[in-house]
Amino acid sequence: MADVILVCFVLVTIALLMSGYPVAFTLSGAALLFAGIGALTGNFDFDLTIDYPNRLFGIMSRDTLIAIPLFVFMGVVLEKTRLAEDLLETMALLFGPLRGGLGISVFIVGALLAASTGIVGATVVTMGLISMPAMLKHRYQPSLASGIITASGTLGQIIPPSIILIILGDQIGSAYQEALRKQGNWSGANVSVGELFLGALLPGLLLVVAYIIYIALLAWMRPESAPAVNAEERARLDSHALARRVVASLLPPVILIVAVLGSILLGWATATEAASVGAIGALGLAYLKKSLHWDILRHSVQETARVNSMVFLILIGANLFALVFRGLGGDASVEHILSNLPGGTGMAFTLVMLMIFILGFFLDFFEITFVVVPIVGPILLAAGMNPVWLGVMIALNLQTSFLTPPFGFALFYLRGVAPASIPTLEIYKGVVPFIGIQLLLLLILALFPQLATALPELVYGGN
């Protein structure tokens, strides 16, 4: 009977999520409904819910989560400055005379924006509004331009300080502690957000390099798809004027990135402390660019409050969902299924990654991280997987899912700002090569976990 209630619980929750009903209320509402059904049939101990307020208080008191609104605020403020426009114009002057140079410029700017803001939707929309007209004007293939923008925009998933890495760091850390407790180890090391930032740094940079190499090769083999631009404007600038412009455009975001990431990676500050530095730095940068005024500040605070409220409402609902799921024996059922798959841990990991990839079509990373990781994380980590490597693999997996037609979130963001003259099918075609690159990187990272674990072990020591 308990198994039937558990299956109905999961199916009803999925159906409600697919219907578009708000995620936070779906998770909590379905959990309360089936907790009641389970209690009435003698399959759920309602006393488990007594501890729920204490669980929430413990979650809300985590210092790591304070970093989320601070990084969101930093990203929103930077979005309102002319940072992206200045960077793209300057990089286009620097690389534009090369075939594919404008596309390379978009990837460089996308990587810098990802490291400055960490917000995927904002980066895709910003790059779409700024770079799409420029690439179409200079006769870039519409499908290629679409692929470049969506791929560069999703770099905010994997390049620190990514919001998803902060949330994953918190959830992976909790799952790792639970896995250690199940093994009787009550004093094992925790996993910090800084470790996950370090673990994602090299794969993120490799992804940017792979994108740039692809564009360079494509422009060399098919010059008409990505022609050179800005040759005349570049010729009018002497080398000193160009150097001054590059320094003036690059220096502010680089200083901000070094201040935020450097303080975390060198152990000088926690993620929360570094996030406060980033928020203040973003305000300072907006002031220097003369774009800081009351409307921008008001909008930034409102947007930060909206995003933060959404995140924590989902967190509250996801924790109630997880509590009822475990009370109905769901964690034991999942562990039994994953432990008895043919192929052992490798097959279990593959199945989990496939499930996360498919869920990425329909759910945002907040819901996936808060719901899925607490359930499957302890099982995979108890099997001996490195927590940093697992976190980076999940982040890359979600990034790939957000690019994949027909449901990828990045595609929807671009469709909203792309000209009507570009068919949706062209956008879908454009992302296919970049999905291939990301799948290749996932395979390489699966075969060589040291790409994600070497830097954290060097700085923090192994877990």
pLDDT per residue rounded down to tens, the chain (463 residues): 677 888 888 888 878 876 767 777 888 888 889 888 888 888 888 777 777 887 777 777 777 777 778 877 887 787 777 777 777 778 877 787 788 888 888 888 888 877 666 566 667 777 787 788 888 888 888 899 899 988 988 887 888 877 788 888 888 888 888 888 877 765 556 777 888 888 999 999 999 999 999 999 998 888 888 887 766 666 666 677 778 877 887 888 888 878 887 887 777 777 788 888 888 888 888 888 777 788 888 888 888 888 788 778 877 888 888 888 888 888 778 777 777 777 778 888 888 888 888 877 767 677 788 888 888 888 888 888 899 999 999 999 988 888 887 667 778 778 877 888 888 888 888 899 999 999 999 999 999 999 999 988 887 765 5
- The C-alpha atoms of residue 380 and residue 390 are separated, in whole angstroms, by 9
- Structural contact between residues 373 and 172, judged by C-beta atoms closer than 8 angstroms: yes
CA atoms within a 13 Å half-sphere pointing along the CA-CB vector of 423: 3
Please name which of 56, 34, 14, 76 lies closest in space to residue 361, comparing C-alpha atoms: 14
Name the DSSP letter for residue 426.
Answer: H
Q: Please report, as a single letter, which amino acid is at residue 110.
A: G
Strand residue runs (E) in 325-433: none
Q: What pLDDT is attached to residue 232? A: 64
Q: What pLDDT is attached to residue 443? A: 93
Q: Where are the alpha helices (DSSP H) in 222-343?
A: 231-236, 239-257, 263-265, 271-288, 294-327, 330-339
- Structural contact between residues 328 and 43, judged by C-beta atoms closer than 8 angstroms: yes
- The C-alpha atoms of residue 68 and residue 64 are separated, in whole angstroms, by 8
Residue 46 CA: distances (Å) to CA of 26, 38, 43, 257, 321: 20, 9, 10, 48, 14
Q: Where are the alpha helices (DSSP H) in 222-262?
A: 231-236, 239-257
- Structural contact between residues 345 and 384, judged by C-beta atoms closer than 8 angstroms: yes
- The C-alpha atoms of residue 434 and residue 232 are separated, in whole angstroms, by 31
Q: What pLDDT is attached to residue 355? A: 85
Give the number of other CB atoms < 10 A from CB of residue 65: 19
User: For the chain, give me the number of helices (H) and strands (E)?
Assistant: 22, 0
Structure tokens at 241: 């004027």
Q: Please report, as a single letter, which amino acid is at residue 307.
A: V
Structure tokens at 379: 């099982």
Residue 310 CA: distances (Å) to CA of 304, 318, 359, 409: 10, 12, 19, 17
- Structural contact between residues 158 and 120, judged by C-beta atoms closer than 8 angstroms: no
Name the DSSP letter for residue 187.
Answer: S
- The C-alpha atoms of residue 73 and residue 297 are separated, in whole angstroms, by 9
CA 193 vs. chain centroid, Å, equals 13
Taking CA 23 as the corner, what is the angle to CA 20 and CA 24, rounded to the nearest 5 degrees? 150
- The C-alpha atoms of residue 446 and residue 157 are separated, in whole angstroms, by 18
Q: What pLDDT is attached to residue 195? A: 86
| Direct distance between the N- and C-terminal alpha carbons of the chain, in angstroms, rounded to an integer | 41
**Dihedral (C-alpha) 403, 355, 31, 59: value to the nearest 10 degrees?**
-70
Please name which of 203, 256, 234, 253 lies closest in space to residue 95, comparing C-alpha atoms: 234
Q: Considering Cα of 437, then 457, then 120, then 289, what sign does the dihedral take? A: negative
Q: What pLDDT is attached to residue 237? A: 63
- The C-alpha atoms of residue 445 and residue 89 are separated, in whole angstroms, by 34
Burial 387-424 (b: 16+ CB within 10 A, else e): bbbbbbbbbbbbbbbbbbbeebbbbbbbbeebeeebee
- Structural contact between residues 397 and 408, judged by C-beta atoms closer than 8 angstroms: no
- The C-alpha atoms of residue 286 and residue 300 are separated, in whole angstroms, by 12
Reported residue count of the chain is: 463
Phi, psi of 310 (to 5 degrees): -60, -45
pTM over 0.85: no
